[in-house]
Amino acid sequence: MRAEETPAAPAATTEPAPAGWRPALRAVGPGGDDATAPGAPPRAVRPQPVPPGAEVEHPSLYFNRELGLLDFNWRVLHQARDERTPLLERVRFLAITSGNLDEFFQKRVGGLKRQLIAGVQTLSLDGRTPGEQLALVAEAAAEMYAALATAWDHELRPRLRAEADVAVSDWAELDAEQRAGLTRYFRDNIYPVLTPLAVDPGHPFPFISNLSLSLAVLMRHAARNTMHFARIKVPTTQGRWVPVPNSPHKHHFIPVEQVVQANVSALFPGMEVVAASAFRVTRNADVDRDDDEAEDLLALISEELRERRFAPVVRLEVERGMPDEVRELLIRELELEASDVYEAADMLDHAECMLLAELDLPQFRYEPWEPVVPEPLQHEGETEDEANVFSILRRGDVLVHHPYESFNASVQRLVEEAADDPHVLAIKMTLYRTGVKSPVVQALLRAAERGKQVAVLVEVTARFDEANNIVGAQMMEDVGVHVTYGLVGLKTHSKVTLVVRLEEGRPRTYCHVGTGNYHAKTTRAYTDFGLLTANPEIGRDLVNFFHFLTGYAPDQQYDRLVVAPRDMRRVFEERIEREIAVQESGGTGRIIAKLNALDDFGMIRALYRASQAGVSIDLIVRGHSRLRPGLPGYSDNIRVVSILGRFLEHDRIYYFENGGDPELFLGSADWRGRNLNERVETMVPVLDPALRERMVEVLQLALRDNRLAWDLDADGQYVQRRPAADEDEINYQELLMRDAEARSRAAGGRPWELSV
């Protein structure tokens, strides 16, 4: 299906797709005129017209961040609607879209509402108040909410039944025998754990937890002819999907809330149930805190987690057909406005479709991928002197690219060998997101138990991972690991490891600097680069960096490492200014950056200046961008592309041509205000020419992609690339997998034995 074609309702659908299957598209050009972009997804951003002679600070030169986040989610939803994507992977993308929307309301809408309540009138970079942004967000989110339901109910659900023999039914579709079996299941498994909560003068309106699924039950007392209300929390601990008995389908499910709805009268004998409607609340996760005033950061975060449970509700999702009086009761008790209510055309919470995407049906999934062992690490044990990772790194730097190359066989191996090596004196790491069962954490525990000095900075303010990080940190403290919980006023987002080993009577350093987290699961799903090195300058810098993290050293000096917020902005702005100087002196200025998001005003302003000077700039930005590319006179020489595929593009790479002597950095920071101003970030230059050349080839391949890439225009519209009739398809991620396999075979690669 080509981008300009509108998909018809699938053949398996028993009723026509409703109006709005492909929502009307909005596009506002530089002059403010409405336009339609055929075949492109809807978009939320609405840039202002650029007045003649506008300075680079003018709001019309910037996209709105919140609306840009929604537009990223439109691109994710498109993957669920793309016929070229395997069916269960389409279901997975639908679930991811729904989960992203939940997080958007918790963080972004919650933050805007808090600003509105506080009377904040500060304008966004694109010149809008919090109230104006909320109005635009509400309209755009409602459109996305409807599109989610349509994609599930009118395409994916019928396709699952017709093609994969996976049926997801409503109660009304089941026969008498199936209903009887589910009623027995209700009696045996669900009824005992339900707790109906009445609401009357003696029973206040109950607390409803964030993102929980509930039923609002309206009933009549037959003898008194009085109306009553009760809330039931739908139990999902045994799963959202209940298997349907006596089914001809290989897999047949019904949502658990429908089983409860069909049998709800059993909970209220003597009452007439008028309606039992599903609803769901989303609470604000943007809780205000003051790190600077905290005496105990760990206690502060623990308190924040408790506060989140009772934070204000920012969204109410209701089932279609909910009685008006019930909806009004919920709006009143939850202190909401009518605009905060989202009516579901089908079921609530499509994020639960992720469980369906995990069904064991490999023919409807991506072809399995097993990361290969990086070529330099395949030759351990060749001689007595080359039996460990340290001897390999002494020969030269090793660049690893996950998930194409194995995290277990490279970074994890470094930490595990360091834990077991009797010559290793110390291991120091930053942990942003990880799990208590992580092999990396287990290796750190083992190292501490063996008497090595182990120091770990655990970032307990990592959003939505606070509880896991606190548990992991306390477990490490129990065995003697020196744990630091972050810096006051700054979130530590760096991804670095330092190993100190005694060799020939003196300490020697071995390091890892990466773009991603030390999390075994995400290393198989996120694309990230890492540099493993024994370079003594980088080693000294990391020694100083950890002294800065764990002690008092605000003026710490670094030779190779670039650290935010201290130096990073200056270093990047100097490199951009250098490209401008090269261009203006008759050379060729060139910048390529691959990052997750771009919203920092200072960096965008510098890029606009570079474009005006003639510097050629390519930005590979997976998520949102506030920069408007292709604006005449401002960003004519800037191109922005977003890549979305089976792996989440997560690496941060910055390339500067430097008049023919290129500089290339990798690390943890995006060009976002929070990364450059509010976080401790690290970038490191890639010094080895061969490794630098390999990374440049990766960047160039990303820019050539015509399968996963989306081009952003000056109006904010993303259009997915499609190969022309005479062109081969270039799938960036697929080609990197094939390249990794080819390099592994050429080096005599073998499967890596995973650590237990």
Strands 709-712, 718-720: pairing kind: antiparallel
Contact predicate 431/469, CB 8 Å: yes
Give pLDDT, residue 292.
40
> Which residues partner with 507 through β-bridges?
502
Q: Are strands 34-35 and 27-28 parallel, antiparallel or unpaired?
A: antiparallel
**Does residue 35 come out as left (phi exceeding 0), alpha (psi in the -120 to 50 range) or beta?**
beta
Write down the pTM of the prediction.
0.89
For the chain, the maximum distance between any two Cα atoms, rounded to a whole number of angstroms, is 92
406-426, pLDDT tens digit by residue? 999 999 999 999 999 999 999
Does residue 423 have an active-site annotation?
no
**pLDDT of the residue at 203:** 80
Contacts of 509 (CB under 8 A, 6+ apart): 498, 499, 500, 501, 534, 536, 538, 539, 540, 542, 543
Beta bridge partners of 427: 454, 499
Instruction: Please count the other Cβ atoms lying within 10 Å of the Cβ belonging to residue 368.
Output: 6
- Of 401, 493, 512, 650, which residue is the catalytic one? 493
Name the residue with tokens 């659908």: 13
Q: Residue 252 and residue 248: Cα distance in Å, rounded?
A: 8
Helix (H) or strand (E) holding 215: strand 213-221
pLDDT of residue 462: 46
Task: Give one DSSP letter per residue of 638-685, joined into a string.
Answer: EEEEEE-SSSEE---EEEE-GGGS-EEEEES--BSHHHHHSEEEEEEE
Strand order in 241-243's β-sheet?
166-168, 251-255, 241-243
Q: What is the DSSP string of 556-602?
A: ---SS-EEETTTHHHHHHHHHHHHHHHHHTTS--EEEEEES-B--HH
SS3 372: strand
Q: Give the other-Cβ count within 10 Å of 106's Cβ.
A: 23
93-141 tens-digit pLDDT: 999 999 999 999 999 999 999 888 889 888 999 999 999 999 999 999 9
Adjacent-strand bridge partners of 220? 227, 272
| Interatomic CA distance for residues 159 and 143, integer angstroms | 23
Give me the pLDDT at residue 554, please.
Answer: 74
Dihedral sign for Cα atoms in the order 390, 391, 395, 398: negative
Q: Which ranges of 458-557 does DSSP label H, i.e. alpha helix? A: 466-478, 536-550
pLDDT at 449: 93
List, for the chain, all residue ranges whose pLDDT scores fall below the cut of 70.
1-39, 287-310, 379-387, 433-436, 460-473, 748-756
Give the amino acid at 754. Answer: L
Phi, psi angle pair for 754, to nearest 5°: -70, 145
**What is the distance between the alpha carbons of residues 268 and 337, in angstroms, rounded to a whole number?**
31
Query: Residues near 576 by Cβ (< 8 Å), separated by ≥ 6?
Result: 591, 606, 607, 609, 610, 615, 656
Dist CA 615 CA 635 (whole Å): 10
Question: What does the pLDDT read at residue 40?
Answer: 80
